Structure 1
Amino acid sequence: MSAEITVRHIVLLGTIWQVVAAVTSGNVDQFPKDLHIFRGENVSMFCRFPISQAIRDVYWWKEGEKNFIEADTRKHFNVNKGRGTFALLGATVTDIGTYYCQVLQQDQSVGNGSGTQLTVFASPIPLKIVPVEGTSLRSQRLECKTSAFYPEKIEISWRRNNEEILNGIEIVKNRSEEGLYEASSFLEETKPAVYTCLVSHATLTVPAALSYIIKKDADKILIIGCAVGGLVILVLTVILVTQKNKST
């Protein structure tokens, strides 16, 4: 490890101690305080300091991590005219956290920012409803599946012909390696009707809704009709044969 990097790490440790102690420099102004964006969006945060002083270096770190953030294809830094900028491209839920800036001059800390809290949301829409195998031959089971979402809290309900269904509902939730959640709500029903899945989430101003129609089973009606028709033909045949035997 080079002497320059070692000095930076020592300065960072001192800065973290300052943040914990709620001590920040009046010469450094970090903004905005809070950022709320959707997954995949680009975001920037800023660190401002007096331009009357000599050119300074600005470094950024994320709370809970031990090293300064390094530039890469998603993370870009710029210092110009008394302002340091940290741009984050294509944000994911793994980027959620509090970010701090630190202003250095000749490897000496001039001050640090008060922090920017980044929150990344992911919407559960679009929804999808698909029929799946039921627990019996006579049942029709429906699955209402969300898209990947964040944060975790979500509410899923069902309606049949616009009347809320309170029983026979099962919800399964999974979390991906990226930290996103997916949920499936299963409903077992046999009645022909319009079924609507409603999903409430922090990313939605109103619940998302998707409907599915279960119709009468035309194949079963056809089979029953054929069976009844065959029975009528058989009865008529027996009657005709009987009448013919009597006439002879």
Structure 2
Amino acid sequence: MVKVYWWKQGENKYLKSEADYIKTTGVEDNGSSFTLNSVTYQDSGIYLCSAVRQGKIGENGNGSRLTVYAAPTPLKIVSVAPERKSSAPLTIVCETAAFHPEDFTLTWYKNSVETVTAINITKRQNTEGLFEISSSLEERQRVPSGTVYICLVSHISLQAPGIVTYAVTNSNPDLALDHSYGIKPQVVLQLFVGLLAILVLMGILVDHAKSICFEDPVKMRLESLPSSEQNSTGALKRTNR
């Protein structure tokens, strides 16, 4: 009778086929196989087997590598309020879900053009041993409304890269330009203050003109003209006093 034993490289025990154990083994006519009932990323590794026949242990096989994937999706992208001392008017952050194995590629695009400047990537391993990525992109200049950012993540677990987008809108007044003919909010404010000053000055001038017109009104009086200058209906002579 032939017995086949499986073990994981780096572990000093054989895999057991117990009812409450996630691993089971079996022997077939052409060889042996084992099944992992509830696979987790910790099961990744190289598995080896050896056959025992009539008490004699045969040579080990070359081993079979098992890699358990955990996808970094869904991705999340958010904007972060700039710090007081920061000169960046816009900071957006792309975050992955916990994934395995460690290797990945993360790429930023701005309006479909790849961008590589002002990008920071932080990678950490959580308590379960999975990896998480946080990547931030900072814009030093104000960003026009309608600008679209894309965070793209490639990983061996994904048939197609994971994608998440962020669009700048006018609802973010601190981030976007005022697109009324490209006038910035500061310029609009300066124009408003200047117009208000002109209106106030015009009001002062009007009040001053009124005071000049009515301060010393023209005095009117009637005088009797000499009889030689009077006509049949009489005459009025306008004089100033």
TM-score, structure 2 as length reference? 0.66
Q: Tell me whether 1:232 sits opposite 2:195 in the alignment.
A: yes
Asked if 1 retains the 8 angstrom alpha-carbon contact of 2:80 and 2:93, the reply is: yes
User: Aligned partners of 2:198, 2:103: CA distance in 1, in Å?
Assistant: 64
User: Aligned partners of 1:218, 1:198: CA distance in 2, in Å?
Assistant: 24
Of the candidates 158, 162, 172, which is equivalent to residue 108 of structure 2?
A: 158
Deviation, 1:122, is 2.1
User: Aligned partners of 1:95, 1:138: CA distance in 2, in Å?
Assistant: 44
* Structure number with larger C-alpha Rg: 2
**Which protein has greater RCO, CA pairs closer than 8 Å, 6+ apart?**
1
User: Aligned partners of 2:154, 2:32: CA distance in 1, in Å?
Assistant: 39
Asked if 2 retains the 8 angstrom alpha-carbon contact of 1:100 and 1:112, the reply is: no
User: Aligned partners of 1:142, 1:116: CA distance in 2, in Å?
Assistant: 42
Percent identity reads: 34
Q: Which moved more, 1:207-216 or 1:227-236?
A: 227-236
Where does structure 1 lack aligned partners over 5 or more consecutive residues? Answer: 1-53
Q: Of Structure 1 and Structure 2, which has the larger fraction of its residues in helix?
A: 1
Asked if 1 retains the 8 angstrom alpha-carbon contact of 2:122 and 2:133, the reply is: yes
Q: Tell me whether 1:65 sits opposite 2:11 in the alignment.
A: yes
Asked if 1 retains the 8 angstrom alpha-carbon contact of 2:105 and 2:155, the reply is: yes
User: Aligned partners of 1:218, 1:182: CA distance in 2, in Å?
Assistant: 29
Aligned to 2:43: 95
Give SS of 2:98's match.
Answer: coil
Residue pairs, 1:43-82, within 5 angstroms: 54=1, 56-70=2-16, 71=18, 72-78=20-26
Q: Which moved more, 1:207-216 or 1:159-168?
A: 207-216
Distance 1:138 1:228, change over 3 A: farther
Where does structure 2 lack aligned partners over 5 or more consecutive residues? Answer: 179-183, 212-241
Aligned to 2:138: 188
After superposition, the CA RMSD in angstroms is 3.1
Deviation, 1:164, is 1.6
TM-score, structure 1 as length reference? 0.64
Q: Tell me whether 1:126 sits opposite 2:93 in the alignment.
A: no
Distance 1:149 1:134, change over 3 A: same
Q: Of Structure 1 and Structure 2, which has the larger fraction of its residues in strand?
A: 1
Give SS of 2:203's match.
Answer: helix
